[in-house]
Amino acid sequence: MKIIKALAMVGLLGCSLPVLAASTEAAKNPLSVHVLNLQTGVPTAGVAVELEQQQKQGWVKLASGITDKNGRIAELYPAGQSMATGHYKVVFKTGDYFKQQQQPTFFPEIPVIFQVEKSGEHYHIPLLLSQYGYSTYRGN
Rounded Cα distance between 71 and 46, Å, is: 8
Rounded Cα distance between 13 and 34, Å, is: 31
User: Does 132 carry a binding-site annotation?
Assistant: no
User: Does 97 carry a binding-site annotation?
Assistant: no
Q: Are 65 and 76 in contact (CB under 8 A)?
A: yes
Rounded Cα distance between 69 and 9, Å, is: 36
Give the side-chain half-sphere CA count within 13 A for 57.
3
User: Does 34 carry a binding-site annotation?
Assistant: yes
Q: SS3 letters for 25-49?
A: HHHHCCEEEEEEECCCCCECCCCEE
- Which residue ranges are tagged as binding site? 34, 72, 137
Residues of the binding site for substrate: 34, 72, 137
